[in-house]
Chain A
Amino acid sequence: MPIPIDFITGALGFLFTVLILSYLIGDNPLFKIAIYLFVGVASGYAAAIIFWQVLYPKLFLPTATIIQTGNYSNAFLLFVPWLGLGFILMKISPRFAGAARITMAFLVGAGAAVTLVGALSGTINPQVMATINFFQGAIHKPTNELIEISFSGGVILLGLVTSLAYFHFGARQKPDGSTKRFVLVDIFAWIGRIFIGITLGVIFAGVYAAALTAFIERVSSLVIFIKTLLGIP
């Protein structure tokens, strides 16, 4: 009788959960086996995904089509990627590894432009606008709502400004050679520490809750697998 695929998946999941959780008794060979195998399998899986979802449809398939049809009018569009690929592969040889810099320069240039626009339109603009919009229309609200909006908006604005001040490390050099931040920046940075402490505390609680949920889910999966194995309902 063939073993059902779901059973094999469950058995593998059970085995690897036990191997990873064995770390609770200390670093051990079982944990290392699971981690090394995980890195290998995850890398191989990611490499296969890259091949099938990027390289095959965007490079290999169009090249094969051009060769098969003999229509070379758009061949120049694939010339640069093939050239770049060639330069990257030269990284394997220490003698010609420098050529890979050309491809890396291309990637860094494109990446820098995309990141720049992403930071501006994806983070700075929306975050600043959200802080401003908090106060929008507040003046027409009843007094108690106006006070609430002003206080909450004020705290958010103070948190934003002081947290930014905390990361300002510019300082002037005194005649005696020592350096000190501008007094106002120093005060703002001190208040910013409180906001950053609160923010990191909230993030910590969120991550801990997620980690605890994952731990409970894994332990529950172990129990369910053993119950299924023993036929206990």
Chain B
Amino acid sequence: MRILTAIIAIAVGFLVLLGYFFPQAAPLQILLLDWAIILAGAAALVGFFNIAIVHLDKIGHRDRNAVYSAILVIGLFATFIFGIILKPQHPYMQAFALNGIIVPVEASLMGLLAVSLLYAAVRLLRRRADLMGIIFIVTAGIIFLGSATLPFGDVPFVGTLLRPWITQVWALGGARGILIGVALGTLTTGLRVLFGADRPYGGK
């Protein structure tokens, strides 16, 4: 099984890669990616039902949080069944599930982040007042001060010169370094999978 899975992963990977370099291989690449989309969708669906199974198990074992698990399972199945019957674009689905629950909860959680981030910044200054921490907080402070809408307009120098200079020159350099670093890591991981050195699908 280990050899079979490695052969499948390597063969599929190289065939998909081939489509990017040779137009003759593009139809095969499209077919393989189409299959991958279907299988990824099916895997995601199985994942959602795995959530339900885990929580049903908790309800069965009368876990401490069984009541919350029951709420989750009811919410999951009710939304899924109505979503299948009505389709997700139906006005009722949009009104109840999307605009009634999902969007307000996501926005409120984002709002809570404002409080959590402020608390984290204060803790950072208290616990790790080293060079990196000070640069981090001072930069964030300058950006806030430069972006704030004040009754008299922009803060002279900070809003008009310092903030754009930091964001468009200094932060850009660091961000490019981080982005390229992440991409190089991704590239290496992809190559390791294609050569069979890493087998995240199982097997050594």
CA of A205 to CA of B135 in the docked complex: distance in angstroms?
13
Which of chain B's residues have a CB closer than 8 A to the CB of A205?
Answer: 139-140, 143-144, 147
> B8, B65, B76, B139: which contacts A40 (Cβ < 8 A)?
B76
Identify whether the interface residues of A are mostly helix, strand, loop, or mixed.
helix
> B11, B35, B111, B170: which contacts A159 (Cβ < 8 A)?
B170
* Interface bracket on A: 35 or more
> Given contacts A41-B75, A102-B8, A195-B173, are A13 and B183 in contact (CB under 8 A)?
no
Tell me the residues in window 13-44 of chain A with beta carbons closer than 8 Å to chain B beta carbons.
Answer: 13-14, 16-17, 20-21, 23-24, 32-44
Q: Are A164 and B181 neighbours in the complex by a CB distance under 8 Å? A: yes
CA of A232 to CA of B38 in the docked complex: distance in angstroms?
52
Q: Are B104 and A17 neighbours in the complex by a CB distance under 8 Å? A: yes
Q: Are B201 and A84 neighbours in the complex by a CB distance under 8 Å? A: no
Identify whether the interface residues of B are mostly helix, strand, loop, or mixed.
helix
> B110, B173, B189: which contacts A155 (Cβ < 8 A)?
B173
A224 within 8 A of B: no
Tell me the residues in window 138-182 of chain A with beta carbons closer than 8 Å to chain B beta carbons.
Answer: 152, 155-164, 166-167
B150 within 8 A of A: no
Q: Are B176 and A159 neighbours in the complex by a CB distance under 8 Å? A: yes
Tell me the residues in window 51-100 of chain B with beta carbons closer than 8 Å to chain A beta carbons.
Answer: 51, 65, 68-69, 71-84, 87-88, 91-93, 95-100
- Can you name 7 A-B pairs with beta carbons within 8 Å? A32-B68, A54-B38, A131-B176, A159-B173, A164-B177, A197-B132, A199-B170
B contact set with A: CB distance below 8 Å? 1, 4-6, 8-14, 16-17, 20, 31-46, 48-49, 51, 65, 68-69, 71-84, 87-88, 91-93, 95-105, 107-115, 117-118, 121, 131-133, 135-140, 143-144, 147, 166-184, 186-187, 189-191, 193-194, 199-203
